[in-house]
Homo-oligomer: A and B are copies of this chain.
Amino acid sequence: MFLFKKSKDNTYSSFLRRIIGGKPSNIDLYYLAMRHTSAAKEKREGFVESNERLEYLGDAVLGLIVAEYLFNKYPFKDEGFLTEVRSRIVNRENLNQLAKKIGLEEIIQYNGHLKGNKQSFKSIYGDALEALVGAVYLDKGHQFTKSFILKKLIIPHVDIDMIISTDTNFKSRVIEWSQKENKPLTFEVVELDGQKHFKKFEAKIFVGKKEISVGHGLSKKKAEQDAAEKTCQKLNI
Selected from B47, B55, B61, B195, the residue in CB contact (under 8 A) with A64 is: B61
Q: A37-B197, A57-B71, A119-B193 are in contact. List 7 more A-B contacts (CB 8 A).
A: A38-B198, A56-B71, A57-B67, A68-B137, A113-B195, A120-B194, A142-B143
15 contacts between A and B (CB under 8 A): A38-B195, A38-B198, A47-B76, A53-B82, A55-B79, A57-B67, A57-B68, A57-B71, A60-B63, A60-B67, A63-B63, A117-B195, A120-B194, A120-B195, A142-B142
Q: How many residues of A contact B (CB 8 A)?
A: 37
For chain A, residues 70 to 85, give those with C-beta under 8 angstroms from any C-beta of chain B: 71, 76, 78-79, 82-83
Determine if B53 and A79 form an interchain contact, defined as CB atoms under 8 angstroms apart. yes
Q: Tell me the bound Cα distance from A34 to B47 in angstroms.
A: 44
Expressed in whole angstroms, the minimum distance between the Cβ of A117 and any Cβ of chain B is: 5
Q: Tell me the bound Cα distance from A121 to B143 in angstroms.
A: 37
Selected from B53, B119, B193, the residue in CB contact (under 8 A) with A78 is: B53
- Residue in chain B with minimal CB distance to A195: B117
By DSSP majority rule, is chain A's interface helix, strand, loop, or mixed? helix
Determine if B44 and A76 form an interchain contact, defined as CB atoms under 8 angstroms apart. yes
Residues of chain A whose beta carbon lies under 8 Å from any beta carbon of chain B: 37-38, 43-44, 47, 52-53, 55-57, 59-61, 63-64, 67-68, 71, 76, 78-79, 82-83, 113-114, 117, 119-120, 137, 142-143, 193-195, 197-198, 211
Expressed in whole angstroms, the minimum distance between the Cβ of A171 and any Cβ of chain B is: 22
Instruction: Write out the residue numbers on chain B whose beta carbons fall within 8 Å of the beta carbon of A194.
Output: 117, 119-120
Expressed in whole angstroms, the minimum distance between the Cβ of A235 and any Cβ of chain B is: 13
With A63-B64, A142-B142, A198-B120 as given contacts, are A56 and B83 in contact (CB-CB < 8 Å)? yes
